[in-house]
């Protein structure tokens, strides 16, 4: 178990401290993200992934728009929403500290942030992940 935690931390740290991180693109055209096909033709409220945080809470990732959710995260990265970002979200939700902020929860783990909006849509599920990013990319 300890070795797995060390590997997870090393993986997150390599994401956060990577010097070859591509700049955020602004062209409006994103490389293929891992959930593009699931969002194709779906409403913004469609859930593409259910994560589980360290306390057992289900954390939805919805297709979203350019302002929140999967599309927001995917469009905000030159390399798109890839497996590395997906794994960073999984690890941050599982191992990160939870800081409530109004109706949202900010998860922070090894310099990676996930913001989860807990207020609900009409389907009864939380609005879901608003954004996810590395603090190193924001600097």
The structure tokens listed for 86 are 């997906």
Please tell me the pTM assigned to this model: 0.75
How many CA atoms within 13 Å lie on the side-chain side of 70? 27
The structure tokens listed for 20 are 């070859």
Phi-psi region of 7 (alpha: psi -120 to 50; beta: other; left: phi over 0): alpha
Q: Residue-wise pLDDT tens for the chain (139 aa)?
A: 444 444 444 444 444 434 333 333 333 334 458 899 999 999 999 999 999 999 999 999 999 999 999 999 998 887 778 889 999 999 999 999 999 999 999 999 999 999 999 999 887 888 999 999 998 865 4
Can you tell me the distance from the alpha carbon of 48 to that of 65, in angstroms, rounded to the nearest whole number? 13
Angle CA 30–31–32, to nearest 5? 110
Given this model, what pLDDT does residue 138 score?
58
* Domain boundaries of the chain, sorted by first residue: 2-18+33-138
């Amino acid at each position: 178990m300890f070795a797995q935690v060390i590997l997870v931390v090393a993986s997150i740290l390599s994401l956060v401290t990577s010097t070859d991180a591509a700049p955020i693109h602004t062209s409006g055209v994103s490389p293929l993200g891992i959930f593009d096909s699931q969002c194709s033709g779906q409403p913004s409220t469609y859930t593409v992934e259910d994560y589980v945080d360290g306390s057992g809470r289900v954390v939805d990732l919805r297709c979203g728009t350019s302002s929140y959710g999967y599309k927001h995260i995917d469009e905000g990265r030159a390399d798109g929403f890839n497996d590395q970002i997906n794994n960073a979200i999984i690890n941050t939700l599982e191992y990160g500290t939870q800081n409530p902020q109004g109706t949202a929860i900010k998860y922070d783990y090894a310099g990676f942030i996930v913001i989860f909006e807990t207020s609900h849509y009409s389907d009864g599920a939380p609005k879901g992940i608003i954004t996810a990013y590395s603090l190193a990319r924001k600097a």
